[in-house]
Structures are given as structure tokens and as C-alpha cells.
């Protein structure tokens, strides 16, 4: 890792932070870590990313959600410590709904991608809007509506907890096109930034993952053409479920990476920290914690790789992805908590990285479906 001297990293808001954030840019020779600040400037990130050669980045593919396979994507996103914080949403753009968009190839807003060469000249930030202020897990009761008027759709409503709700160049939004709580009652649409009636709203001031922008998307009589519809009318929720199946694998991988980062920091510190004239790793209270951490991380990684393998084979992996996401996210929270404990008072300061692992890990038990929802999914699959 090298110290980055760009305007973002050397600003007064960020230059004194040891581990700067949850966005990491990884090339063959360079790792850059950028801190989370309330006024984080995405345009600077874009320019910095464009200047780095060899960036490992997933991209749209007509056969797979990502141009690189899911196992390689997993290996990237779960890398240790400094590598964990790739903001995959920034780098993957609208990949979540690309499989459906490729069925049409009618909408010009979908970026054209060379499947063999990755270029960042047309670097696109994407957003995916499902969650609403009053409909988190209860997505079937969403309030955002899309009303058809001839060859156009009129969108009204608010989405929240949306990654890149303000900065995204293009969004895929799920809107209700039928009656609440009925089957096949929502549809997916592509909406470009700058479309009249489409604006970004409040940016959330989060506990962790602070360099990943989370904000509202507001639709006020936003008119779009029917060509911007993804899939059939009423197919939005089925698409969302498939998206979430894959997204859970990404969160599981991210969880494993956070856990590994916290674990490795704790191992190193336990070997260096001396108490009673010996390293604290020699005490059973510490070494047993490390043994539990190592075992749980290994199990979480294997569950995640199993889900990756099934997805790459095109087989059903609803249960396996939910298991991986549920277990890995809870492991990330436990391991990062234990890492802070091993660091003691120092773990509670920003001079060491474990406080950040601790803050960031909690989101993994919430995003892409809470741990409680994962249990519902798993139980439903087991009881079929």
C-alpha cells in the first residue's frame, strides 16, 4: 500500500486518518484507501480511478451478472484488511439489473462494454432502488408508483437507503404498477440522472461504510419512455429476488473480508503487545479468541464459495446464498468485536484499524436483507 497524495486524501477532512475509508482502489501496483467524509467528492474518485492501470473491476456480461466470474469477484472483495473496502457498487455500475437489460438491448442508456477489455473512460456509477422509508423487508407494499400514459410511465415516490442515490449516473428503480400486496405488482425501470422529476434527497450520516454514499432518490412526476422498462410489467419483484440472491453473495464476501482484516490486525497486535513480560497472544484468554475467529472465518468463506460455485453453474442457490450472507455477516460483527477487545483501549481509537472494521461490519447484517430475513428464507427453503 502507498500513501495517496491526491486532493481527496490530502484534504483537511481525511489526511490525519490512518485507514481512510471504505472505498479502496486496487491495481497491480497500488492500493488507495479513501476516507469517508460527509462531503465526499465522487468526481475526484472517478478521476483517480481513471488514472490507475490494471484495476480489477467486474463489468456487465450477457451470460453472467459480472464479466469476471463470481469466484474471482469473491476473491477480490474478501481480501484482507486494506483490500476489503472496494466500493463494489461504484465500480460495477448497474450490473445488478444488466441480465434483464440485455434481454432488450433497446435502451441507449445502458453502457456498452467490451467484454474482453475493461476501460474506465466511460466510468458509470449506478444505483438500485428497492427500499422505501416505510417498506424495508415489506417490499410488496411499496408506495413508489409507475403509472402508464401511452408510451410513457410516470414515476412518483421516494426510495431510501440507496447506494449512490445522489451521485449515481443511472438508476434501476422498482416501482409499483399494480395494487399493494398483490402478486406481480411491481416493475423495474432504468432512469438516468438529469431526467426531469428525478432528484437525489437526504444523504444519510451513517455509523460505518461512510465512503459509500447512502441517500434518498425522489421521483416527482418523473416521465420515462416505455423502452426504459426492464423485463415484463409486473416482473420487478421476481427480478429483485434474483438480484438479492446474488447480492447476498457479495455481502457475504464483504463480510469475510472485514472479518479477515479484523482478525489479522488482532493477530499481529497480540504478538506485539506485551503484558507481564510476554506477548498477550500467549494468554489463553486471547489465543482462544483467535482460535474461534479463525475457525468461524474459514466456515464463512467456505459457505460463500459454495454459493459462488452454484451461481456460476446456474443452479439454484437461494438457500446457500442466504446461509452464506447470514453466517458471514454475523461472523464479521463477532470477529471485529473480539478484535476491538483484544486491542483494549487502543481498539477504541482511530489510531488503529479495528474500530473501523467494527463500525463497518454491522451493515452486513442489515443490507441485502437482515439476518432475520435470511433465517426466513433459509427456513422456507428447508421446509419445502
Query: What is the reported pLDDT for 213?
Result: 85
Identity of the highest mean pLDDT range in 87-91, 180-184, 313-317:
313-317
Average the pLDDT over each of 6-15, 141-150, 233-242, 307-316 and give the range with the smallest value: 6-15
Residue-wise pLDDT tens digits, 146-165: 999 999 999 999 999 998 89
Calculate mean pLDDT across residues 260-268: 94
pLDDT computed for residue 341 by the predictor = 97
Residue 152 confidence (pLDDT): 96
3-state secondary structure the chain: CCCCCCCCCCCCCCCCCCCCCCEEEECCCCEEEECCCCCCCHHHHHHHHHCCCCCCCCCCCCCCCCCCCHHHHHHHHCCCHHHCCCCHHHHHCCHHHHHHHCCCCCCCCCCCCCCCCCCCCCCCCEEEECCECCECCCHHHCCCEEEEECCEEEEEEEEEEEECCCCCCEEEEEEECCCCCCCCCEEEEEEECCCCCEEEEEECCCCCCCCCCEEEEEEEEEEEEHHHEECCCCCHHHHHHHHHHHHHHHHHHHHHHHHHHHHHHHHHHHHHCEECCEEHHHCHHHHHHHHHHHHHHHHHHHHHHHHHHHHHCCCCCHHHHHHHHHHHHHHHHHHHHHHHHHHHHHHHCCCCCHHHHHHHHHHHHCCCCCHHHHHHHHHHHHCC
Cell 417490499 appears where?
139
For the chain, give the mean pLDDT: 75
* Per-residue pLDDT at 64: 31
Mean of pLDDT values over 236-240 = 85
How many CB atoms neighbour CB 209 within 10 A?
25
Q: Which of 92, 216, 320, 368 is catalytic?
A: 368
**Residue 293 pLDDT > 80, yes or no?**
yes
**DSSP string for residues in 272-292:** H-EETTEEGGGSHHHHHHHHH
> pLDDT: is 216 or 54 the higher one?
216
pLDDT digits (tens, 9 = 90+) for 346-370: 999 988 989 999 999 999 999 888 9
Query: Band of the pLDDT at 53, cuts 50, 70, 90?
Result: very low
User: What pLDDT does 21 receive?
Assistant: 29
Task: Assess whether pLDDT exceeds 60 at residue 60.
Answer: no
Q: Is 117 a catalytic residue?
A: no
Average pLDDT over residues 1-18: 35
pTM attached to this predicted model: 0.74
The full set of domains in the chain, from first to last, is 126-234 (2.40.110.10), 238-382 (1.20.140.10)
CA-derived radius of gyration, the chain: 21
Amino acid at each position: 500500500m502507498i500513501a495517496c497524495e491526491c486532493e481527496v486524501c490530502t484534504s483537511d477532512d481525511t489526511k490525519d486518518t490512518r485507514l481512510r475509508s471504505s472505498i479502496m482502489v486496487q491495481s497491480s501496483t497500488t492500493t488507495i484507501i479513501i476516507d469517508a467524509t460527509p462531503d465526499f467528492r465522487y468526481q475526484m474518485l472517478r478521476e483517480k480511478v481513471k488514472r490507475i492501470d490494471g484495476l480489477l473491476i467486474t463489468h456487465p456480461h450477457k451470460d453472467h451478472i459480472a464479466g469476471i466470474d463470481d469466484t474471482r469477484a469473491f476473491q477480490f472483495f474478501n481480501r484482507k484488511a486494506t483490500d476489503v473496502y472496494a466500493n463494489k457498487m461504484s465500480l460495477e455500475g448497474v450490473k445488478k439489473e444488466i441480465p434483464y437489460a440485455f434481454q432488450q438491448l433497446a435502451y441507449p442508456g445502458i453502457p456498452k462494454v467490451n467484454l474482453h477489455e475493461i476501460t474506465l473512460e466511460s466510468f458509470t456509477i449506478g444505483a438500485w432502488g428497492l427500499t422505501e422509508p416505510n417498506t424495508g423487508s415489506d417490499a410488496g407494499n411499496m408506495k413508489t408508483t409507475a403509472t402508464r400514459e401511452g408510451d410513457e410511465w410516470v414515476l412518483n415516490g421516494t426510495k431510501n437507503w440507496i447506494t449512490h442515490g445522489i451521485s449515481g449516473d443511472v438508476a434501476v428503480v422498482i416501482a409499483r404498477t399494480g395494487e399493494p400486496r398483490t402478486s406481480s405488482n411491481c416493475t423495474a425501470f432504468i432512469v438516468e440522472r438529469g431526467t426531469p422529476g428525478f432528484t437525489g434527497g437526504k444523504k444519510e450520516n451513517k455509523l460505518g461504510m461512510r465512503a459509500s454514499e447512502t441517500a434518498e432518490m425522489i421521483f416527482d412526476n418523473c416521465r420515462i419512455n416505455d423502452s426504459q422498462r426492464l423485463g415484463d410489467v409486473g416482473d420487478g419483484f421476481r427480478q429483485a429476488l434474483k438480484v438479492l440472491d446474488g447480492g447476498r453473495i457479495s455481502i457475504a464476501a464483504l463480510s469475510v473480508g472485514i472479518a479477515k482484516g479484523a482478525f489479522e490486525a488482532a493477530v499481529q497486535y497480540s504478538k506485539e503487545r506485551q503484558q507481564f513480560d510476554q506477548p498477550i497472544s500467549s494468554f489463553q484468554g486471547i489465543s482462544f479468541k483467535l482460535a474461534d475467529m479463525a475457525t468461524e472465518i474459514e466456515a464463512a468463506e467456505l459457505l460463500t464459495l459454495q454459493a459462488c460455485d452454484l451461481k456460476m453453474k446456474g443452479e439454484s442457490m437461494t438457500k446457500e446464498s442466504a446461509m452464506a450472507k447470514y453466517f458471514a455477516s454475523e461472523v464479521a460483527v463477532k470477529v471485529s468485536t473480539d478484535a476491538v477487545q483484544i486491542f483494549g483501549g487502543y481498539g477504541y481509537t482511530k489510531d488503529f484499524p479495528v474500530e473501523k472494521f467494527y463500525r463497518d461490519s454491522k451493515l452486513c447484517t442489515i443490507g441485502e436483507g437482515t439476518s432475520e430475513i435470511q433465517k426466513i428464507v433459509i427456513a422456507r427453503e428447508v421446509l419445502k
